[in-house]
Amino acid sequence: MRRYVAVVKGDVLRPGLGAELAAGVATSEGAFCATLVAAKRVTCAAVAGGDAGAGGASEADRSAGGNDGEVIGGEVTGEVTLVVTEGKYRMVRRVLANVGHPVLALHRTRLACAC
In this structure, the number of other CB atoms found within 10 A of the CB of residue 66 comes to 5
Q: Which of these ranges, 10-14, 24-28, 46-50, 51-55, has the smallest mean pLDDT?
A: 51-55
Band of pLDDT at residue 52, cut at 50, 70 and 90: very low
pLDDT at 113 (0 to 100): 65
For 2-108, which CATH class? alpha beta
Task: Report which of residues 47 and 28 the model is more confident about.
Answer: 28
CA torsion sign, 58 to 61 to 64 to 70?
positive
pTM value? 0.73
Band of pLDDT at residue 74, cut at 50, 70 and 90: low
